[in-house]
Structure 1
């Protein structure tokens, strides 16, 4: 089965205030349709690794492959295009533009990619909202909906360009157990019905235990994959 994502010998150093080796020789891959979680104590390097894997941080040693294409060292404009097209990202905080409607928020990454007409983007955004059972909120301003609904909107926005992989940085960290379970169920449905690959950094053991695989980190190393 094809790798959607592969990291080979990734090393990362923080230079200030002193030289600190934060990621140490990280190698693993995510297959198409795999749902993996990354766990580890605070400071183990989880989020730092995720930012490298998402191509947002390019200051590292080693090699990164996205859909079996070598992306390390590509110019930032090209990386931005690749990221917008192939990677959906869901954070602990939803980062919605609160003065925009739900529909407008979901459309934003597709408008940035600029490969479809406004009408096509709007149609696709409505399809994503329907899939997540929040199409009735489309015209509401984002500051008028609940926390659980905001996170669903953030997931719809992450899916708008039909990415190869969805990455999450503590996507349930701000939610109560009911909404956290909803987010997990949405992710599982995306894996099973759409064949989407997912990689989620989480502190939630219950969430991680239900994923296909737990990648365990400690002091910048992967100790179990």
Structure 2
């Protein structure tokens, strides 16, 4: 039996009250612990909405989310925030770094928000992370003084400072050139494997997706298909993605 980090049961997301927009429909999903899962699909398919629900940033309208054995169907807002701060890291296409702070200060920001002034052990951990992502020479620079690829590596180090069990990444390479994007992906994959961190990533780039362990494709707010990349070659995964369109059966929705 698979050891699942994330389980989703009949998840729906609807925006609006008078005029409703149904974005996600009855999502059923299991994500194994310590794996790399890529969420793909056309624009407007619900990828980022699903990621935000899984990351506890946006509550579903209905359904059940379980992360590391903890159910989030009905939980106190403060407890939810505490779990998210302690167990989840986020990396976004637009890194949301604070321009008035240095690289080092931005990396420590989640801890400052969660627990206040960091102790020496955490300062040492931040320095280790800075070295790991290759930013040791610029740690005292303001983030406005460094390149886009360096800023994205800052956001990865920031996501790791609280030693999360899961990292949710929304198009982390989408705003970078191909070479820099490849380096960021290499770093995330390395962290996934060496830290045993579960990684869930939204991407529009199928070359990125085929480097994952599993590809989940969404169309019109529904899971259309799942491809286990580990059980096939890279070439086979590409062929499966490109040989046929992912078409949902008629659901009766209009």
Gaps in structure 2 of 5+ consecutive residues? 227-254
Give the aligned length.
225
Whether contact under 8 Å (2:11, 2:60) holds in the other structure is no
Gaps of 5+ in 1: none
Residue 58 of structure 2 corresponds to which residue in structure 1? 57
Alignment of 1:23-172 (within 5 A): 23-114=24-115, 117-172=118-173
Contact 2:11 2:62 in 1 (8 A): yes
Matches of 2:190 and 2:3, distance apart in 1 = 20
Is 1:9 the counterpart of 2:13 in the alignment? no
Structure with the bigger RCO (C-alpha within 8 Å, sep 6+) is 1
| Equivalent in the alignment of 2:252 | none
Is the alpha carbon distance of 1:172 and 1:81 closer, same or farther for their aligned partners in structure 2, counting shifts above 3 Å? same
TM-score, length basis structure 1: 0.96
2:45 alignment partner, SS class: coil
- 1:12-52: per-residue Cα shift (whole Å, max 9, x none)? 11225622221001011211110010000111111111111
The residue number in structure 1 matching 2:179 is 178
Larger radius of gyration: 2
CA contact (8 A) 1:103 1:122 kept: no
- Does residue 1:188 correspond to 2:189, yes or no? yes
Q: How many angstroms apart in 2 are the aligned matches of 1:17 and 1:47? A: 24
Superposition deviation, residue 162 in structure 1: 0.5
C-alpha separation in 1, matches of 2:217 and 2:135: 34
Inter-partner Cα distance in structure 2 for 1:112 and 1:36: 29
- The superposition leaves residues 171-201 of structure 1 with CA deviations (integer Å, 9 ceiling, x where unpaired) of 1110000111001101111122111110000
| Segment drifting more, 165-174 vs 57-66 | 57-66
In 2, are the aligned partners of 1:98 and 1:141 still within 8 Å (CA)?
Answer: yes
- How far has the Cα of 1:72 moved from its partner? 2.1
What's the counterpart of residue 20 of structure 2? 19
Q: What is the alpha-carbon distance in structure 2 between the residues aligned to residue 211 and residue 45 of structure 1?
A: 19
Alpha-carbon distance, 1:66 to partner: 1.0
Structure 1 residue 115: deviation in Å?
8.0
Matched residues in 1 for 2:112 and 2:124: separation? 13
Q: Which moved more, 1:35-44 or 1:2-11?
A: 2-11
Q: Is the 8 A contact 1:111 1:121 kept in 2?
A: no
